[in-house]
């Protein structure tokens, strides 16, 4: 009878918690749930998130992996760039449903994040109310709200607390009864302090079954004593497939610090195997990304005057007023994107509580101190306090880290510290706790309700298609270039949403070309391949169009669409619409050409200088590197799928040049025989051929992906074999 009553209480508590989460979700996101065509007004949705998602979905629906994007910036290694999420499980839902699943995916990942906060606090023996208090605030985090959708940052964020849950269980042993040092009140110890963790890790299956029976929070998933290690492997793999590298880095850093806090430096050995397994399973994603980001790409500073991209100090004004940075009626998400993208705002009430905890720090136990101190350290880090010291002492700092990208870890540490702090001081709170929860949620709901919504232009869309046809009708076999002026860029990138929430046509902002299959020379992003696109972008940005050279001819730019009423005589006007004019470039070499002379050896800078100043011409001069970019492939035949064939002119030997980035991973065959591929004119793919050659084939087959896929499949097979052997031995 006693056991039956306990089960009823647990079920009643579960029902209340589920009802609470449901009410909060509908109060905050009801419009987005009922109207999937509405989206949060966020400039990056149009300029990056929606187009990149559409590109990946289109490739998967056609039955191919998106290894290469030929439509942007002379070709981009698409799988290697973060946010493509090719192998992420949530991408499969988009493949079946389409972009209409956008809002549901974002809210689902917010819920996963919130449940992870709740689970971690319950493991730390925080009572359900204070655990729900923190997890409900996590649902309304304003930074996550602006990222709402299945883009990389949201999906990577969702698994942060679950990684900490797995680390906690591995080091504490039992998933329900952590060591006294992990308990806010200290089991068997006083409230002020508690002994360091020194217990032996439990490994008995019966202990797990007993502890998890009837427990709210996924207890039924446990089937073996190895499950905490498998969970860490699973959550880490999901994070890598979600693909946001800085968030992954900061999550691991925080998890390792937590492990050292629990059990000292020796604890890292316990995490080595599951982390290594996660790296093995996800090698098909991180290995190409590692090759691209660290070996083949240049990362531009996100902000010219803020190369390390930390938060402006003035953003702290938003702690008192979420719209404090608005100027002349322009909301913050336009005036200062860093506020909504990377902020620590979870409401003023939690911040007051954490500030009060600083003055009461002597009365806190060690876990609460850890998370409270961690929150303040990461907050100061994101504001650039420590970077100032590095700059003064001239200590190099990788731009990749971007302190502002630590916002996910900041929010996680803040919410965990909040729950632990309230449990520490109020283990038996009165009815005032409901008023505190209501005030905290309203503090966040008000800016959510006031945040603008809009209907974005998504394919299929008649307006997008008609505008694209006007450009495509004039396009030959090259690409178009879009270069808005500073004023036009501001209007295109950050349009104020219409009161009626109608979509604002943004003309083909780079990457929106992915919607309508239009090849552009532009690329929206802060990472450029070092093999040439970076140089071409600088040229187009700072010298075009009033230069004496013909670099645009070499780059295969057939059309130029820009707000310029006059141009040099070599460009021909096609039509004008408003302030924008479409210009034709008759001298463009298009997507490929053949050079029949003798090449020269020049550096990339010398080559670009020669073409931009007019001392060299595309069909009369060729600057060729002496060593191949990619050696001849081992396979004697080009792949059946994914290879492109080009017919060569007969009678003369020469050099076939394709105006796409000649990045390592491209392979070449001439008359079905493997050959070396070279770098031409500092940027393009070049294949020498003899006078008898008839056809050249090119295919993108990066070794990093092939090796990574082999390792991932090897890991999956090894896990399956281990499971089979275990079953056989059990019999």
- What does the pLDDT read at residue 218? 36
Note whether 245 and 400 are within 8 A (CB): yes
Query: Encoding tokens for residue 633?
Result: 């492939």
- What does the pLDDT read at residue 508? 63
- What does the pLDDT read at residue 606? 84
Owner of token pair 């004697």: 636
170 vs 184, higher pLDDT: 170
pLDDT tops 60 at residue 665? yes
pLDDT tops 50 at residue 208? no
* C-alpha–C-alpha distance, residues 637 and 478, integer Å: 28
- Would you list the DSSP string of 452-512? -EE----SS-HHHHHHHHHHHTT--SSEEEE---HHHHHHHHSPPPPTT-PPPP----TTT
Average pLDDT over residues 529-554: 71
Average pLDDT over residues 444-455: 84
- What does the pLDDT read at residue 201? 37
SS3 of residue 248 by DSSP: helix
pLDDT tops 50 at residue 199? no
pLDDT per position as a tens digit, 672-727: 999 999 999 988 999 999 888 899 999 999 999 999 999 999 988 887 776 665 56
pLDDT-derived band at 382 (thresholds 50, 70, 90) equals confident
Average pLDDT over residues 559-569: 87
Q: 394-408, 468-482, 622-636: which has the minimum mean pLDDT?
A: 394-408
SS3 of residue 202 by DSSP: coil
pLDDT-derived band at 83 (thresholds 50, 70, 90) equals confident
* C-alpha–C-alpha distance, residues 375 and 411, integer Å: 8
pLDDT tops 90 at residue 610? no
pLDDT per position as a tens digit, 22-49: 999 999 999 999 999 998 877 778 778 8
Sequence-distant (≥ 6) Cβ neighbours of residue 708 within 8 angstroms = 283, 284, 285, 286, 287, 288
Q: 254-258, 304-308, 585-589: which has the minimum mean pLDDT?
A: 304-308
* C-alpha–C-alpha distance, residues 575 and 561, integer Å: 10
Residue 6 CB burial class (10 angstroms; 0-12, 13-18, ≥19): exposed
Q: 244-253, 269-278, 389-398, 435-444: which has the minimum mean pLDDT?
A: 389-398
Give the H/E segment covering residue 559: strand 557-562
pLDDT per position as a tens digit, 505-530: 666 667 788 998 999 988 877 777 87
Q: Which residues are bridge partners to 411 per DSSP?
A: none
pLDDT-derived band at 67 (thresholds 50, 70, 90) equals very high
pLDDT-derived band at 408 (thresholds 50, 70, 90) equals confident
pLDDT tops 60 at residue 145? yes
Residues in the chain: 731
What angle is formed at CA 147 by the lines to CA 144 and CA 152, rounded to 5 degrees? 105
* C-alpha–C-alpha distance, residues 488 and 679, integer Å: 35
- What does the pLDDT read at residue 313? 78
* C-alpha–C-alpha distance, residues 302 and 292, integer Å: 18
Share of the chain above pLDDT 70, in %: 82
In the chain the first and final C-alpha atoms are separated, in Å, by 37
Beta strands in 57-185 (DSSP E): 68-69, 76-77
- What does the pLDDT read at residue 536? 67
pLDDT tops 90 at residue 132? yes
pLDDT tops 60 at residue 216? no
Handedness of CA 102, 55, 408, 265 (dihedral sign): positive
Note whether 716 and 296 are within 8 A (CB): no
Q: Is the link from the previous residue into 460 a cis peptide, with omega within 30 of 0?
A: yes
Supply the mean pLDDT for the chain.
82
- What does the pLDDT read at residue 195? 37
pLDDT per position as a tens digit, 343-376: 566 888 998 999 999 888 888 899 999 999 999 9
Residue 326 CB burial class (10 angstroms; 0-12, 13-18, ≥19): middle
- The dihedral over CA atoms of 291, 84, 406, 371, expressed in degrees to the nearest 10, equals -110
399 vs 559, higher pLDDT: 559
Query: Encoding tokens for residue 723?
Result: 């499971």
Sequence-distant (≥ 6) Cβ neighbours of residue 485 within 8 angstroms = 562, 563
Handedness of CA 345, 347, 348, 349 (dihedral sign): negative
Q: Of 476, 678, 474, 680, nearest to 589 (Cα)? A: 476
* C-alpha–C-alpha distance, residues 151 and 157, integer Å: 10
SS3 of residue 621 by DSSP: coil
* C-alpha–C-alpha distance, residues 511 and 521, integer Å: 10
What angle is formed at CA 344 by the lines to CA 339 and CA 347, rounded to 5 degrees? 100
- What does the pLDDT read at residue 591? 93
* C-alpha–C-alpha distance, residues 184 and 35, integer Å: 42
Angle, to 10 degrees, between the axis of helix 227-242 and the axis of helix 245-263?
Answer: 150
Residue 566 CB burial class (10 angstroms; 0-12, 13-18, ≥19): exposed
pLDDT tops 60 at residue 475? yes
* C-alpha–C-alpha distance, residues 303 and 320, integer Å: 25
Query: Encoding tokens for residue 331?
Result: 């909301």
Angle, to 10 degrees, between the axis of helix 432-450 and the axis of helix 348-359?
Answer: 130
pLDDT per position as a tens digit, 263-305: 899 899 999 999 999 999 999 999 999 888 887 887 776 666 6
Handedness of CA 78, 84, 88, 91 (dihedral sign): negative
pLDDT tops 70 at residue 582? yes
pLDDT tops 60 at residue 151? yes
- What does the pLDDT read at residue 544? 62
pLDDT tops 60 at residue 404? yes
DSSP conformational letter for 47:
I
Handedness of CA 679, 681, 687, 689 (dihedral sign): negative
pLDDT-derived band at 437 (thresholds 50, 70, 90) equals very high
pLDDT-derived band at 221 (thresholds 50, 70, 90) equals very low
pLDDT-derived band at 336 (thresholds 50, 70, 90) equals low
Estimate the share of the chain in helix, then strand, then coil, as percent rounded to the nearest 5.
50, 10, 35
* φ, ψ at 623 (rounded to 5°): -110, 115
- What does the pLDDT read at residue 202? 36
SS3 of residue 584 by DSSP: strand
């Amino acid at each position: 009878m006693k056991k039956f009553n306990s089960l009823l209480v647990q079920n009643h508590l579960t029902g209340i918690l589920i009802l609470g989460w449901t009410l909060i979700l509908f109060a905050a996101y009801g419009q987005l749930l009922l109207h999937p065509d509405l989206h949060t007004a966020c400039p990056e949705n149009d300029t990056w998130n929606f187009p990149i998602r559409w590109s990946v979905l289109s490739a998967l629906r056609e039955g191919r992996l998106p290894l290469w994007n030929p439509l942007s910036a002379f070709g981009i290694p698409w799988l290697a760039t973060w946010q493509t999420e090719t192998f992420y499980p949530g991408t499969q839902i988009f493949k079946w449903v389409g972009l209409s699943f956008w809002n549901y995916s974002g809210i689902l990942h917010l819920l996963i994040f919130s449940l992870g906060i709740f689970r971690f606090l319950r493991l730390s023996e925080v009572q359900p109310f204070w655990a729900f208090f923190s997890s409900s605030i996590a649902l309304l985090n304003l930074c996550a709200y602006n990222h709402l959708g299945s883009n990389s940052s949201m999906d990577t964020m969702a698994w942060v607390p679950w990684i900490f849950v797995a680390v906690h269980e591995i080091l504490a042993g039992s998933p329900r009864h952590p060591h006294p040092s992990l308990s806010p009140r200290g089991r068997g110890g006083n409230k002020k302090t508690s002994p360091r963790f020194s217990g032996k890790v439990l490994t008995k299956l019966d202990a797990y079954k007993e502890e998890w029976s009837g427990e709210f929070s996924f207890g039924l998933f446990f089937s073996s004593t190895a499950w905490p290690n498998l969970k860490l492997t699973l959550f880490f793999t999901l994070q890598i497939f979600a693909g946001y590298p800085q968030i992954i880095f900061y999550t691991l850093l925080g998890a390792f610090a937590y492990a050292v806090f629990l059990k000292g430096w020796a604890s890292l050995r316990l995490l080595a195997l599951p982390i290594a397994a996660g790296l093995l399973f996800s090698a098909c994603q991180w290995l190409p990304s590692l090759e691209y980001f660290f070996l083949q790409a240049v990362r531009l500073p996100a902000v010219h005057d803020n190369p390390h991209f930390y938060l402006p100090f003035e953003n702290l004004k938003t702690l008192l007023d979420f719209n404090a940075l608005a100027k002349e009626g322009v909301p913050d998400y336009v005036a200062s994107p860093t506020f909504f993208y990377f902020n620590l705002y979870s409401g003023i009430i939690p911040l007051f509580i954490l500030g009060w905890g600083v003055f009461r720090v002597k009365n806190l136990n060690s876990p609460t101190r850890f998370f409270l101190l961690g929150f303040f350290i990461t907050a100061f880090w994101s504001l650039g306090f420590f970077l100032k010291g590095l700059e003064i002492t001239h200590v190099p700092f990788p731009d990749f880290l971007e302190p502002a990208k630590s916002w996910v870890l900041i929010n996680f540490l803040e919410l965990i510290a909040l729950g632990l702090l309230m449990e520490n001081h109020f283990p038996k709170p009165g009815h005032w706790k409901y008023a505190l929860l209501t005030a905290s949620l309203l503090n966040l709901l008000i800016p959510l309700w006031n945040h603008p919504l809009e209907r974005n232009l998504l394919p299929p869309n008649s307006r997008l298609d008609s505008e694209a046809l006007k450009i495509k009708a004039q396009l030959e076999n090259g690409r178009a270039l879009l270069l808005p002026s500073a004023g036009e860029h501001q209007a295109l990138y950050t349009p104020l949403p219409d009161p009626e929430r109608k979509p604002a046509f943004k003309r083909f902002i780079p990457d929106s070309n992915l919607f309508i299959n239009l090849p552009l020379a532009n690329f929206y992003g802060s990472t450029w391949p070092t093999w040439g696109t970076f140089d071409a972008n600088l040229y187009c940005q700072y010298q075009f169009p009033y230069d004496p050279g013909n670099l645009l001819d070499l780059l295969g730019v057939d059309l130029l669409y820009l707000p310029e009423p006059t141009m040099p005589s070599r460009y021909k006007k096609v039509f004008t619409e408003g302030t924008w004019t479409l210009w034709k470039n008759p001298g463009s070499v298009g997507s490929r050409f053949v050079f029949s002379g003798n090449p020269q050896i020049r550096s990339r800078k010398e080559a670009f200088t020669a073409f931009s100043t007019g001392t060299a011409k595309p069909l009369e001069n060729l600057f060729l590197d002496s060593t191949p970019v990619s050696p001849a492939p081992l396979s004697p035949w080009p792949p059946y799928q994914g290879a492109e064939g080009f017919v060569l002119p007969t009678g003369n030997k020469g050099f076939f040049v394709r105006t796409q980035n000649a990045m390592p991973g491209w392979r070449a065959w001439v008359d079905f025989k493997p050959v070396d591929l070279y770098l031409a004119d500092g940027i393009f793919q070049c294949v020498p051929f003899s006078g008898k050659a008839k056809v050249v084939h090119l295919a993108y087959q990066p070794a990093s992906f092939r090796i990574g896929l082999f390792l991932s499949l090897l890991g999956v097979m090894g896990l399956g074999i281990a499971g089979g052997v275990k079953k056989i031995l059990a019999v």
